[in-house]
Amino acid sequence: MVAIKHLKEGRLVMIDGEPCKVVSIATSKSGKHGSAKTRVEAIGLFDGKKRSVVKPADSEVEVPMIIKKKAQVISIQGNVAQLMDLETYETFDLEITEEWKDKIKEGEEAIYWEISGKRTFPLY
C-alpha cells in the first residue's frame, strides 16, 4: 500500500483488481471544507484498457508485487515464446512484445515478471 499522492508516472498500481501502469497524475487544491483530490489515469498491463481512479490525496492504493524470475527460451513461433522456468522447470507460453522481439533468442535465458498470478516480459 502507498499513499496515492506519492505515485509517479510509469509506476504500477492496482485499479479494479488489475495491475496498471500510471500514465498521468493530477492533484487538485484542497477546498474550504475538504481535502485535496488526486486523479490517477493508468493503462492495464495485460488488457490495455484505460482506467482511472479519484481519491483523497492522503488515501492509500494497492501496488502490485512484481516477482522477477528467469527462464530458458525453448522455442519461438511467430510472436509467442515457449519458456521453461529455471527453478520449477515448468513450461509456458508468453507473447513477445515489440520491444523484446530482437532480444529474445532460442536457447538463451530470459527474465520474466509474475504479477498477480500472470506472466509478462519486463516493461522497462
One-letter amino acid at 5 equals K
pLDDT single digits (tens) 19-67: 999 999 998 887 777 788 999 999 998 888 999 999 998 899 999 998 9
Instruction: State how far the Cα of 99 lies from the Cα of 29, in Å rounded to an integer.
Output: 39
Say how many C-beta atoms besides its own lie within 10 A of residue 78's C-beta.
7
The answer to whether residues 18 and 51 touch, using CB atoms and an 8 Å cutoff, is yes
pTM: 0.73
Cell numbers representing residue 28 in the block? 487538485
* Mean pLDDT (whole number) for 93-99: 86
| Beta-bridge partner residues of 94 | 81
Domains of the chain with bracketed CATH: 2-61 (2.30.30.30), 66-120 (2.40.50.140)
